[in-house]
Amino acid sequence: MSRPLVKTHLVLLVLLALSLLLPLRSGYGFTAGTPTFRCDHVAVRYAQSADFWKTVGDVQNARGSLSAVNGVLQNRYGDLEETFLAADAVCSLGQSWEFGVSADGLGYGSARNPVIPELDAVMTIGGFASATYLWAPAEGWKLRPGILIGGGGERKIHAVSTDLIESLPLRSGAFALLGAEFSVEYGRSLLPVLEWKQTLFARYAGVDSTTPPADLDQNKDRVHAIFRWRIEEEFIPSPWEDWVSWHVIAGPQPLPLPVLPPIWDVVHDIQDFPELGVMLGGGIRLLKAVTVGFYGGYFGAGIDYMTGPLSLSAGTWGLEGSSAYQTQGSRLWTAQVGWHW
């Protein structure tokens, strides 16, 4: 990344972070009295398509013979496989401030090109913290400026051809993330029997990694930017609001539920504006608990259950690993347990 571009990224981060001061500048700061600090919920989330680091171990055991390596990889060429675990907690201060912390771990890998085999694998562990301010300047409007920071360690493998036979080149390092995010919610009645809710979200972050680049990628910059955006339109028929609603989503990985943790964006090279079919999704929500639809070109479904302070959820979602429609898809299975106060 060139120095002018790095400076541009830093300026954008500063401008977005300064948006946190807008509510206070406009008189929407703390009210009289001491705000109450409380923890709202904690949750643990697990997701897996396949354990690719087991494949890495099998390749290491098979090294010395290219045919044996191909035997391990023959059913995995072209597939993206990953596993992640995320534990997070959300606390609030008064009615306006929200703070979150999370500890995430992710293992990811892919194999391609059976003629000249290539193997990529990443294992990353990190921690993240966020602060968000809720600002309601007018009826029906909610604005949430916020900041996100994080860091952790990572291990990477990029092996080509003879590397798979001799030894897998393992590279290790650390990463640091600094970003800002902003969301806008607006809702109103379109018809006497139809409510409309719109949510816009954007996150811009810079990531600095000390992990050495692969031999074939020496010109890659250690600093790169992450830009995630999302637009969701939800329609709720008033007479049946507890029974059904439907939604349309646009953005990278347009999933209807918060499935992907921050570390997912650090590991993956997000395409800001992929093909139209990849960044569109839509579906319905039944009984405020069951979500079904097609998101980014793949079928997805999830179910939520809550009893008292305990919440449980599970789902299956398709993820596209490229910017092209249904080219490098993977099927992710997720489960989450949470506790709410």
What is the DSSP annotation of 295-318?
ETTEEEEEEEEEETTEEEEEEEEE
The whole-model pTM stands at 0.78
Cα–Cα distance for residue pair 180/127, rounded to 1 Å = 16
- pLDDT value of residue 76: 59
Residue 338 has what pLDDT?
95
Asked if 222 and 200 count as a contact pair (C-beta separation under 8 A), the reply is no
In angstroms, rounded to a whole number, what is the distance separating the alpha carbons of residues 180 and 18?
9
Task: For 249, list phi and psi in degrees, rounded to 5.
Answer: -130, 140
Domain ranges of the chain: 3-28+39-340
pLDDT at 170: 80
Q: Judge contact between 21 and 180, C-beta under 8 A.
A: no
pLDDT at 214: 74
**What does the block give as tokens for 291?**
């979500």
pLDDT at 238: 87
The DSSP string of 28-59 is -SPPSSPPPEEEEEEEEEEEES--HHHHHHHH
Provide the residue count of the chain: 341
Whose structure tokens read 């902003």? Answer: 182
- pLDDT at residue 174, rounded to an integer: 94
Contacts of 20 (CB under 8 A, 6+ apart): 131, 133, 145, 146, 147
- CATH node for 3-28+39-340: 2.40.128
| 341 residues of the chain, pLDDT tens digit each | 444 444 444 444 444 444 444 444 433 344 445 678 888 899 999 998 865 555 655 656 655 555 655 555 555 555 667 889 999 999 999 889 999 999 999 988 777 666 667 777 888 999 999 999 999 988 889 999 999 999 999 998 877 765 555 667 788 999 999 999 999 999 988 888 999 999 999 999 999 999 888 765 655 667 888 999 999 999 999 889 899 999 999 999 999 988 899 999 988 877 777 777 788 999 999 998 999 999 998 999 999 999 999 999 999 999 887 777 777 778 899 999 999 98
Give dist(CA 53, CA 219) in Å, integer: 27
Across 134-192, where does the E strand assignment appear? 141-160, 170-191
φ, ψ dihedrals at 261, nearest 5°: -80, 170
Contact 86, 35 (CB under 8 A): no
